[in-house]
Homo-oligomer: A and B are copies of this chain.
Amino acid sequence: MLLVNGEPGETLPVSDRGLQYGDGLFETIEVNGQRPVFFDRHLKRLEDGCRRLGIPCPALAILTEEAGLLCRQAPGRAVLKIIVTSGSGGRGYRRPEAIQSTRILSLHPYPDYPDAFGTEGIHARFCQTRLGINPALAGIKHLNRLEQVLARAEWTDQSVQEGIMLDFAGQVIEGTMTNLFYVKDHALHTATLAQSGIAGIIRGLIMELANQHQLTVNELSYTSELLLSADEIFVCNSIVGIWPVKRIDQTAFEPGPVTRKIQQWLADYKHETLRREQ
Binding site for B on A (CB under 8 A): 2, 4, 9-23, 26, 53-54, 83, 85-86, 91-95, 104, 106, 111, 129-130, 132-134, 136-137, 142-153, 168, 176-177
Contacts and interface: CB of A to CB of B under 8 A. Distances in A.
Contacts of A91: 111
Contacts of A17: 149
B54 A134 contact: no
Given A14-B10, A104-B14, A22 B151 contact: no
A132 B133 contact: yes
B143 A21 contact: yes
Nearest to A23: B149
B146 A53 contact: yes
Nearest to A21: B145
Number of this chain's copies in the assembly equals 2
Most central of A9, A20, A94 by chain B CB within 10 Å: A20
Nearest to A176: B93
Given A11-B11, A14-B12, A53-B150, A144 B2 contact: no
Given A137-B147, A145-B144, A19 B21 contact: no
B11 A14 contact: yes
A22 B136 contact: no
The 3 closest A-B pairs by CB, nearest first: A132-B132, A22-B22, A144-B144
A16 B13 contact: no
A195 to B, nearest CB: 9
B168 A133 contact: yes
A81 to B, nearest CB: 9
A72 B51 CA distance: 43
B149 A95 contact: yes
26 contacts: A9-B14, A11-B13, A12-B14, A12-B19, A14-B83, A17-B149, A18-B19, A20-B26, A20-B145, A21-B22, A23-B145, A53-B146, A53-B150, A54-B150, A92-B152, A93-B145, A93-B148, A93-B151, A93-B176, A132-B132, A132-B134, A133-B168, A134-B147, A134-B168, A137-B146, A137-B150
A175 to B, nearest CB: 10
Contact of A144 (B54, B95, B146, B151): B146
Given A12-B11, A136-B130, A146 B177 contact: no
Contacts of A11: 11-14
Nearest to A151: B93
Contacts of A18: 19
A100 to B, nearest CB: 16
